[in-house]
Structures are given as structure tokens and as C-alpha cells.
Amino acid sequence: MHNKNNASAIARQSPSKPNWQLYLVFALTIAVGALCYPFLTLNQTLVAALLFICIAFWATSLIPAYLPALGLFAVSTSAGLAPNQVVFAGFTSSTFWLLFSGMVFGAAINHTGLNVRATRVLMVILGNSYQGTIIKIALFGMGLAFLIPSGVGRVVLIIPIIAYLANHFGYDENSNGRKGMLLAAAFGTFSPAFSILPANAPNMLLSGMVEALYNTPFSYWDYLLLHFPVLGFGKLIITVSVILWLFPDRDPNSAIQTSIEKTTISTVEKRLLLILCVCFAFWFTDSIHHISAGWVGLVAATICLWPKLGVTSKHCLDKDLQYGTLFFTAGVIGLGAIIAYSGLGDVLVNYLTTLVHFSPDSPLTNLSLLTFISTCVAVVMNLSGVPAIMTPMASHLSDITGLSTNTVLMTQVLAFSNVLLPYQAPPLITAIALGNLSISAVTKVCLATFVLTSLVLLPLNFLWWHILGMF
């Protein structure tokens, strides 16, 4: 049955398309390579073409998401675009293993029936209104961002429970109600987290690099004050509005809500709860022990897979995990590593800084241009690529724009918090996998929130910064 569900999920993500669309992508890829070749090295040109074709296929779902990833591995290794350890960096990344552990946790939660117990609690909290349900799920997800520092970890916790809850609310697999609930959980715990310093990887990478390069560590409360009122809470309001607009549905079925009977907690449920609580405790205290969330998750997942504990089925690895999504994740991470190795990101930033015209007398224009440059880097690299590329250049950009170094650094947050497409963000990829969501549904929310953030939130954010004396 599970295999049938996986097959239907792949079918939804890769519907039959006319061949001319595939040919068009290949033709545009060749055109991109031809346009880049006069300005880049051969290696960088090939990487740019790979970047284009992977993004095109991941954004359009013309083919299953794992195929561009496998093609990336094949072309990069056979053409020698980067060393093997760079090409396959995704498989050694803690994010990859955090996703793997999340899949195991989800399978364990379903196998033990812990999702049924969590569903009963959430039913009381969420109530009978569809709009209220979406709002409360998003608020709950944002609350988790203050407690669990890993974006993927939060998605791993919330998505399997919300997926089961959607079923008991009477929303079938293809309904707007189910999509809306899962999207509210994913985006609710992901989007506002960029305004909470320890809540995700790009924030912490930026903080760590600033402390190392400029010896000016960030303050938790100053960072929260600067970003949360607009980029945090404001983004949550926009995200909820977009989900309710794109995926309207009827109120939950109250008769189905009351169908879950109370049962005594079983031994295997207690075992799983103990494993998860210890895992979350290690995630929460990562600033003390400095063990990556991915390796903590891998240890916990290995324990869950131990046959005698009974918290997963004997065939969990064979039947309950979606390996296509794991390859997709490894491909996304590997693509970023290949781009960084090739120097394509540096070339892009250097080109953009010579193309745009900064003026010390126009701070608002300079802020907009810096945000635009960082956004371009986020699309080409990934979200974590923004601080890696832009932070070392902050002092130079401060000199040519007339803005303070801190203000220049903070424009990165405006960029990597505004996600254009799902492939940029591992937490969204994880939500797609665990919730059986279609890439097109997640992409719609990304595009809508990107546009609204650019048109509404960024101007409001600049006003907020001006009030705080940032420029």
C-alpha cells in the first residue's frame, strides 16, 4: 500500500508533459552555456549550464526530482567538474542524515501509533474552523522555532503528526485542506525562523562568520528586535494568507474528529517518546555540546531501527523511506558545493557589484541593491551560500555604499529569508518528503510569498530599520 502511495506521489510530482517542454529546457540549457562561455572558464560554463537545467527541472516537475540529481552526479564526475568529495558532499552533510532520521522518526511515529495520541491533543486545540486550524498550526510551528534550533528537525517533528491529523479531519490526500495544513506547518516553522538567531543554519553561519571575520558577535535580542516584527511575524501573516487563498477548503469534519478513542499508552510508544525526547534535548542544547543535529538524529534513528525495540517495522528501510527524496536532497547540496568549488558564486557577486551603481547619498537604494545581489546569490547557490559569499565582502561593500558594516551584513537576512523556489531550502524538501506534498504546491506558496515579501515586507522592513537608526 505504501509503495502505491509513493508511486502516486511521484506521478503527481511528475505528470505527463509534452516532449517539446523537455526539448525546450535542453535547448535553453545549451543557450545558457553559449552565452556564458565568452565570460567564464569552460568548467564554470558547464557548472552554470548544470545549475540552469537542474533548477528548471526542479521548478517545473517535468521529471521526477531525483533524476536531475542523478544526472548532476553523473555529469560532474564524468566531466571532472569537481572532486568526488565535492560532488557527493550531500551524502556527508548533516542535513542529509537529518532528513534520513526524520523519515525514520515519521515511520516510527506511524508504526507505534504515537501519531494517533498526538492527534487527539491537537484536535482539542485546533477546533472546528479551517481558517483557525491553519492559523493555529502556523503559530505552533513558529513557537517551535524558539525551542528547536534545526529547521529540518522541527519539520521532522511536526509534519507526520499534522499529516495524520489531516486524515482524521476528513481531508483526503489530494484535498486543499490536507495541503493547507501541511503547508502551514512547514512554512509556519520555517519562514519566521530567519528572524530568530539560533533557529536555522543560514542565521548561525552568518553569526559565526561575522564573529570570526569582524569580531562582533550578534546579540540574540538585538537580532530578534531587528528582524522579528516584520520578517518574522509579518512573514507568518503573509504565509497564512497565501495558504488560505491558494488552498481554500471546508471546515474539518467534526464527526471524524471524535472518532479516535482514548487508549493506554503502550510500551513501544514510551520507548519512542524517550528516544525522541533525548534527541530533542540534544538538539536544543547543541550550543553546549556542539554535536551537529544531523549526527544526533542519525544516532536516534539507528536506535529506532533496532529490531528488538519494536518502534519501527522490520521492513522500515525497504518500504517506509523515500530514497528519491534523499537523492534529491543530496543533489541540491552537491550542486551548491560544486558551484562554490567552481568559483561561480564569486564571479556572480563581482559582476553584480560592478553592474549596479551604489551611491553614498541614497541609502535606501543601496539597501535595495544589496538585497537584490544577495537574493541572486541565494537563487544560484542556496540559502547558506549567501553568508558564505557575501560576509567576507561586507567591509568593502560598506565602503562603497556608505552604510555601516552591520547594516550591510543584515541585508543578507532580507535575502536568504525570501525563498523563491523549494530547492533552496532543505526544510521545505523535508516537508515535501515526509508530508507527501507535491513540489508544485510548495512552489506556489514560495512564489506568492516571494512576490508579496518583495513588494510589501521589504519596504516595511526598511521603514522599521530607519526607525531603529540602522541608516
Q: What is the pLDDT of residue 174?
A: 87
Q: What is the pLDDT of residue 146?
A: 83
Q: How far is CA 139 from CA 50, 336, 401, 429, 450, in A?
A: 38, 31, 38, 21, 20
- Count of positions (residues) in the chain: 471
112 close to 268: Cβ distance less than 8 angstroms: yes
Q: What is the pLDDT of residue 389?
A: 79
Q: For residues 118 and 260, state if they share a domain.
A: yes
- Rounded distance, CA 124 to CA 30, Å? 56
Domain holding 424, by residue range, is: 326-468
Q: What is the pLDDT of residue 1?
A: 42
Q: What is the pLDDT of residue 15?
A: 45
Query: From the centroid of its chain, how far is CA 123?
Result: 27
Q: For residues 250 and 287, state if they share a domain.
A: yes
Q: For residues 228 and 306, state if they share a domain.
A: yes
Q: For residues 355 and 382, state if they share a domain.
A: yes
Q: For residues 177 and 140, state if they share a domain.
A: yes
Q: For residues 111 and 255, state if they share a domain.
A: yes
Alpha helices in 169-312 (DSSP H): 176-190, 201-214, 220-227, 233-246, 254-257, 267-284, 286-289, 293-304
Q: What is the pLDDT of residue 72?
A: 93
Q: Mark which of 88, 115, 136 sits at the end of a domain.
A: 88
CB 452: neighbour CB atoms within 10 A?
A: 19
Q: For residues 264 and 189, state if they share a domain.
A: yes
Q: What is the pLDDT of residue 81?
A: 92
Q: What is the pLDDT of residue 158?
A: 87
Q: For residues 49 and 139, state if they share a domain.
A: no
pLDDT per 10-residue tile (average), the chain, 471 residues: 44 52 89 90 91 83 85 94 90 79 82 75 76 92 81 83 85 91 95 87 80 79 92 95 95 60 77 88 77 84 91 84 80 81 81 81 90 87 79 84 91 93 86 87 95 95 93 85
Q: What is the pLDDT of residue 287?
A: 67
Q: What is the pLDDT of residue 9?
A: 45
Q: For residues 68 and 117, state if they share a domain.
A: no
Looking at the structure of the chain, the number of domains it has is: 3
Q: For residues 275 and 372, state if they share a domain.
A: no
Burial of residue 406 (CB within 10 Å: 0-12, 13-18, 19+) is: middle
Q: For residues 56 and 108, state if they share a domain.
A: no
422 close to 446: Cβ distance less than 8 angstroms: yes
